[in-house]
Amino acid sequence: MSSTIGSPSWQPANDVSRYTAYPYTQNVYKFQHFFGSGKKNNVRLFKQSPLVNTEIREMAGKILNSGSLGKGIYPDFLALTFYAGNFENALDKNYSIEIQDTYYRLDDELAQLLETIEKTVGLKNTLIFVVSTGYYNEQEVYPKDLTLPGGEFRPDRSQALLNMYLMAVYGKDQWIKKYYNGQLFFDRKLIEDKKISIGEFQNRAAEFLVQSAGIQDVITSQQMLHGAYNQMVQFYRNGYHKGISGDLFLEFQPGWEIVTGPSADNQKVRNNAVSAPVIFFGQNIKPQRIYRTIEATEIAPSVAYRLRIRAPNAAKANILKELY
């Protein structure tokens, strides 16, 4: 990307009059976005454009054309992540011409990828599955006089305020190492050196932090390992690793925005995920539609079963009976 980002520009790949997917689009125009090295945030904006998908598809093509993938006695695995979210400089935000052009181009990129797979490995020898995160950063525009529940939660400010409280209780030290992805990490060595109970320390911090605006609940790592069970604790417990995860897990109230940097990097809290399809294709799979809700945990065991290998160690769900 570094060798090409100075030259490309993004223009509609189709006649914009054909982009009629959204009834709320107000600005139907032939846009042009430049990603030159002199442009502000050019790398981030490039990654929000469909041009980044071309880079990914071309890299995948080089791997497939190298002749090493899918030619051995054991199955190979190629994971690709394409972008199909908003472009922050679009006029209509969630309902822009840009996002419609992104999907139009993505369709073409997938077609070219399938052609390369057919030529190099053969679709009959390939299992392709497509899934989505079910989330993207929305860019809502609300009328000024509309009052909605929510607000901005700034982790850096809450971290500083909590550390001041901990200083007042335990001494003037930097007790918090960092905040990352809804988790607070304490200086475990400092706590051990001061001979403070980690359980007591976490509980004090959680009781203070839960009073902050925008926080629904605070769950400690001790709760996840030894505490009472509830659905939210189990949710965090599924992704908890003793040597990597944080000390406090913050559950935010719906409607609040987690402000960590530029607006495009902030996250809006939602309890309802965007419905996303899952597609299995290739290797003699019969065409059919599945209308029930598929759990994300069913995908990995189903793929493993098709590859005739054991499912991941933590997999609990059954395979998709409709697929086999």
What are the pLDDT digits (tens) for 92-139? 878 899 999 999 999 999 999 999 999 999 988 899 999 887 666 666
Cα end-to-end distance, the chain, whole Å: 40
- For residue 205, the SS3 value is helix
Quick check: 45 and 52 in contact, CB under 8 A? no
Residue-level pLDDT at 307? 84
Distinct helix (H) and strand (E) counts, the chain? 9, 11
Task: Give the strand order in the sheet containing 257-258.
Answer: 152-153, 257-258, 267-268
Note every long-range contact of 235-244, with CB atoms under 8 Å and residues 24 or more positions apart, other chains counting. none
8 A C-beta contact, residue 89 and residue 42:
no
How many Cβ atoms sit within 10 Å of the Cβ of residue 283? 14
Residue length of the chain: 324
User: How high is the pLDDT of residue 185?
Assistant: 96
pLDDT of res. 2: 46
Domains, in order of start, for the chain: 9-144+273-306 (3.40.720.10), 152-267 (3.30.1360.150)
| Structural contact between residues 246 and 184, judged by C-beta atoms closer than 8 angstroms | yes
Q: Are 247 and 184 in contact (CB under 8 A)?
A: yes
Distance (Å, rounded) from C-alpha 153 to C-alpha 257?
6
Residue with tokens 């107000």: 26
- Segments of the chain with pLDDT less than 70: 1-7, 134-143, 227-229, 262-265, 271-273
